Amino acid sequence: MSELDERLAAVRAGVADAAHTAGRDPAEVTTIVVTKFQPISLIRELAALGVRDIGENRHQEAQAKAAELADLDLRWHFVGQLQSKKARQVRAYAAAIHSVDRESLVDALRSDEASVDCFVQVNLTDDPGRGGAAPDELEALVEKVLGTPGLSLLGLMAVAPLGEPARPAFARVREMSDRVRALAPAARFLSMGMSHDYREAILEGATHLRIGTAITGNRPTAG
């Protein structure tokens, strides 16, 4: 087994374990491997190990990787902050956009073409620079997504705040998800949980984990 294989197996076991603890079927949890700053060769290795869902957080890098790996049957998840002027380009390769956080971005994603899956990102901090809509803006933003052609709302996405326990933060997202489902019953999915907090996320109902370093190892360059 390669180190990559070992780390992937360890995370898969951790996901299954947390799901069982939560009384959930591990099959309802999708693990997206976040490969920002990682080389194309690593994504090929992941694909050979059965990984299908790949996450990236910068448009140019994601676009180049998706083009270069078009021979593989990968689903690309855009998880980073998204500039409105790049929105149409991201639509072209992304299977899902996890970072819809403002009405102007929803307008930029409007399309008469096939719908792209998306999550509304909620900000769990008071710092607007962290991305995500404020919790009190959620309903309006969800209504906006529902009324915009070309977008299919899966649910909510969040990043746990630094310096506080992750589980209560994820519990808040679960409560917000109940509010969202009153407006959009199908939007029941939750994108939350990263390398250090995916177990807590699963316990609070996460359906899409975004895991980088626990699987890939350290990122090659800071950025």
Name the site residues for ligand PLP (rule: CB under 6 A): 34, 36, 57, 79-80, 159, 194-195, 210-214
Least spacing, CB of residue 198 vs ligand PLP, in Å: 8
End-to-end CA distance of the chain: 30
Give least dist CB 112 to ligand PLP, A.
29
Residue nearest ligand PLP by beta-carbon distance: 212
Measured from the CB atom, the residue of 36 and 75 that comes closer to ligand PLP is 36
Nearest CB to ligand PLP, comparing residues 156 and 159: 159
Chain mean position to CA 6:
23
CA dist list (Å): 58 to 34, 71, 126, 147, 183: 11, 21, 23, 27, 31
CA distances from 45 to 40, 112, 151, 215 (A): 9, 36, 31, 12
**Shortest Cβ 14–ligand PLP spacing (Å):** 12
Which residues does 17 contact at the CB level (< 8 Å), separation at least 6? Answer: 199
CB 92 within 8 A of CB 64: no
Cα gap 87→106, rounded to integer Å: 9
Closest separation in Å from C-beta 73 to ligand PLP = 22
Give the 3-state secondary structure of residue 11: helix
32 or 108: whose CB is closer to ligand PLP?
A: 32
DSSP state of 59: H
> Please, what is the minimum distance in Å from the beta carbon of residue 92 to ligand PLP?
20
Tokens of 169: 């933060």
Q: Which is nearer to ligand PLP, 114 or 162 (CB)?
A: 162
- Of the pair 79, 108, the CB lying nearest ligand PLP is at 79
Give the shortest CB-113-to-ligand PLP separation in angstroms. 25
Which one, 80 or 155, has the nearer CB to ligand PLP?
Answer: 80
CA–CA dist 158, 71 (Å, integer)? 31
